Structure 1
Amino acid sequence: MQIQVSFHMGFHALIKRLALYRARRRSRRALLALNDELLKDIGLSRAQALAEGSKPFWQAGNAGRSHSDKNNRQSSGHKFTQKLKA
């Protein structure tokens, strides 16, 4: 029974990972198809779009985000988690 449960959990994780890869590939292709005006609207340069769009699907990306933005999201999420625990 334990092996069957482990298999289902592993299979579910694999399906989720494949869906993530597919979504990354689709969104990166869409990003590359945007014209310069639309890229400007979302705050990206052509160089940033090319850098993100050329990444392989298995590599996570963070186009348009600075290091401080990433830290702010992590710390705010941490505060939120602390509020939930309280």
Structure 2
Amino acid sequence: MALLVAGVVTGLGLFLTGVPGAAVPEQTTTVSVSEGETLADLAARFAPGSDTGAVVDKIKELNSLEDAVLVPGLPLTVPVATGVAEGGR
């Protein structure tokens, strides 16, 4: 039973964070942060299928962010996957 639970937790973790080792897109776009939006939200929206943690790290690097506190309206440069529409929606 413990192995089953561990497998499910691991599978969900992989599903929610994207494919481990998937490349962070090189193309970027500038977006405006919405109320309540997180770096992980932006990573999932603009680089689906990529490792969310790696995309978050790249967003921090591109914007010289030391922490993940975002202010609504803040313009951020984010990696964007090919085929993701401007605005990511």
Smaller-chain TM-score range?
Answer: 0.3 to 0.5
Greater share of residues in helix: 1
TM-score by length of 1: 0.33
TM-score by length of 2: 0.32
